[in-house]
Amino acid sequence: MRKPKLNESMFKTRLSKVLRTKKLGKSIYVFNELDSTQDYANALPNNESLHGTTVIARKQNMGKGRIGRTWISPEGGLWMSIIIIPDFNLADIIFTQFIGSLAVVDAVFENTKINCKLMWPNDILINGKKVCGILTDVNAENEIKKIVVGIGLNANIESSSINNYLTDDNLKATTLKEEYGNDIDLIILIKSILERMEYYYDNFLSCGNTLEIVDRWKERSDMFGKKAIVYDGNQQVMGEIIDLDQNGALLMKLSDTSIRKIIYYDNVSLH
Question: What does the binding site for ligand BTN look like in residue numbers (CB under 6 A)?
Answer: 36-38, 60, 63-66, 69, 71, 73, 79-81, 122, 133-135, 150-152
Whole-angstrom distance between the N-terminal and C-terminal Cα of the chain? 45
In the bound complex, which residue of the shown chain has the CB atom lying closest to ligand BTN?
A: 133
**35 vs 79: CA distance, rounded Å:** 11
Nearer to ligand BTN, 191 or 239 (CB): 191
> Of the two residues 64 and 239, which places its CB atom closer to ligand BTN in the complex?
64
Q: Where are the alpha helices (DSSP H) in the chain?
A: 8-18, 37-43, 94-112, 176-180, 186-207, 211-219
Min. distance of Cβ 124 from ligand BTN in angstroms? 9
Q: Whose Cβ is closer to ligand BTN: residue 13's or residue 61's?
A: 61
Contact in structure between 186 and 113 (CB atoms under 8 Å): no
CB of 207 to ligand BTN, least distance (A): 27
Residues contacting residue 260 through CB under 8 Å, at least 6 positions apart:
230, 237, 239, 251, 252, 253, 254
Shorter beta-carbon distance to ligand BTN: residue 76 or 152: 152
At its nearest, how many Å lie between ligand BTN and the CB of residue 123?
6
The whole-angstrom separation of Cα 64 and Cα 154 is: 14
Q: With respect to ligand BTN, which residue has the nearer C-beta, 79 or 217?
A: 79
* Residue 254 Cβ vs ligand BTN, minimum distance, rounded to whole Å: 27
Q: Pick the closest to residue 32 from 4, 63, 11 (CA basis).
A: 11
